């Protein structure tokens, strides 16, 4: 006798309920009740359970239990999985190649080439010797404690993923800035990507792709890190001074000229702020992605946690901090250079 028996009786669904009585697996609560020999006690009003799926199932066996919801989702996903990966696999294959290529290039080029090249890039975008010295010092320190390979793997993954984020994110942001409908459609997706715990969207990815493929973590990182660059591109273009846009129209610019000569240059400080955030978020994700075989410093952190190797965890954590500081300073300084040249 369960609480909601009367409900089904009044609705005249008794028959349908008993039809559905199946010998499905017993719930733990039922099992406990059975073993303790207690039969169901009529509950007082105070203890009335919420009419949830499970509670209704107790009164009417044909009513689905809530575990069937999760099971249904899983089966649904598994059902479309094959056709989905048939489409997604070739589409995302270049990502695997890019990641593998970057990792291979980074690790197989001798350190005395990689480090100067990195420093040259830093100087090119920041024009600051102080920063070059700082970055050089940090990398030498990491290399000295034998973390050079791990750090370079992490860096290679971040560079590939952040580059792809910008490549995809900026056009999406521009499209959003041009259409309010598109903006209304994309913003909930961005909100979801940003709030979903990163571990959660690793799960369907694991089903879709083999864990040995590097695109698995590549996609996870891109999904997680692409949000800020899209948001800030959209915002930046929408914030471009209306008067300047009007002047562009009044002098007869085509939409394309307006985009390249006015909107993108004026939105550049915001877009670069988005790029900075995107790089920082890829770094955060690359650590988590080591759960699905992403190489780099994250692997050491994971080892530290798994084996409780305090020293390994701390040192690699510190390495990540150093990488983060380097990436942040370099992108912020180049952002500041852009800002100076466009002060209104």
Binding of another protein by 261 (CB under 8 A)? yes
Q: Cβ contacts of residue 9 below 8 Å, gap of 6+?
A: none
Total interface residues for another protein by CB under 8 A? 20
* Rounded Cα distance, 43 and 181, in Å: 52
Residue from 6, 48, 257, 307 in contact with another protein (CB under 8 A): 257
Q: How far is the CB of 125 from another protein (least distance, A)?
A: 18
Q: Report how far apart, in Å, the C-alpha atoms of 22 and of each of 25, 28, 61, 124, 282 are.
A: 9, 17, 7, 71, 49
| CA 122, chain centre distance (Å) | 27
Q: How far is the CB of 343 from another protein (least distance, A)?
A: 5
Contact region for another protein (CB under 8 A) — 18-26, 38-46, 240-248, 303-311? 240-248
Site for another protein in 82-121 (CB under 8 A): none
Residue from 7, 55, 235, 244 in contact with another protein (CB under 8 A): 244
Q: How far is the CB of 263 from another protein (least distance, A)?
A: 11
| CA 313, chain centre distance (Å) | 23
Whether residue 270 contacts residue 235, with contact meaning beta carbons closer than 8 Å, is answered with yes
Binding of another protein by 9 (CB under 8 A)? no
Q: Cβ contacts of residue 104 below 8 Å, gap of 6+?
A: none
Residue number with CB closer to another protein (118 or 266): 266
Binding of another protein by 247 (CB under 8 A)? yes
End-to-end CA distance of the chain: 76
Q: Which residues bind another protein (CB under 8 A)?
A: 241, 243-244, 246-247, 249-254, 257, 261-262, 265-266, 341-344
């Amino acid at each position: 006798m369960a609480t909601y028996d009367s409900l089904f009786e009044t609705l005249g669904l008794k028959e349908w309920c008993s039809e559905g009585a199946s010998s499905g697996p017993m719930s733990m609560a039922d099992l406990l009740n059975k073993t303790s020999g207690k039969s169901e006690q009529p509950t007082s009003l105070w203890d009335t359970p919420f009419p949830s799926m499970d509670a209704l199932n107790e009164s009417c066996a044909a009513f689905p239990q809530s575990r069937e919801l999760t099971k249904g989702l899983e089966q649904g996903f598994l059902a479309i999985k094959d056709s989905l990966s048939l489409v997604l696999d070739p589409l995302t294959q270049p990502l695997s190649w890019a990641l593998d290529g970057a990792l291979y290039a980074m690790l197989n080029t001798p350190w005395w080439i990689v480090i100067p090249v990195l420093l040259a890039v830093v100087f090119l975008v920041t024009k600051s010797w102080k920063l070059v010295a700082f970055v050089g010092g940090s990398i030498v320190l990491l290399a000295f404690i034998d973390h050079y390979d791990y750090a370079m793997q992490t860096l290679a993954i971040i560079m590939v993923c952040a580059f792809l984020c910008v490549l995809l994110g900026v056009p999406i942001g521009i499209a959003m800035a041009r259409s309010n409908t598109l903006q209304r459609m994309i913003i909930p997706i961005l909100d979801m990507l940003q709030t979903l715990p990163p571990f959660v969207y690793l799960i369907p990815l694991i089903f879709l792709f083999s864990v040995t493929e590097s695109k698995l973590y590549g996609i996870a990182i891109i999904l997680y890190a692409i949000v800020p660059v899209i948001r800030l591109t959209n915002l930046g273009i929408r914030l471009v001074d209306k008067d300047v846009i009007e002047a562009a129209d009044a002098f007869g610019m085509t939409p394309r000229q307006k985009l390249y000569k006015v909107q993108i240059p004026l939105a550049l400080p915001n877009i670069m702020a988005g790029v900075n955030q995107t790089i920082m978020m890829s770094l955060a994700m690359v650590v988590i992605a080591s759960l699905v075989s992403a190489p780099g410093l994250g692997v050491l952190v994971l080892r530290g946690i798994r084996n409780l190797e305090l020293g390994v965890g701390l040192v690699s954590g510190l390495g990540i901090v150093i990488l983060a500081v380097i990436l942040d300073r370099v992108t912020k300084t180049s952002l500041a250079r852009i800002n100076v040249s466009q002060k209104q």
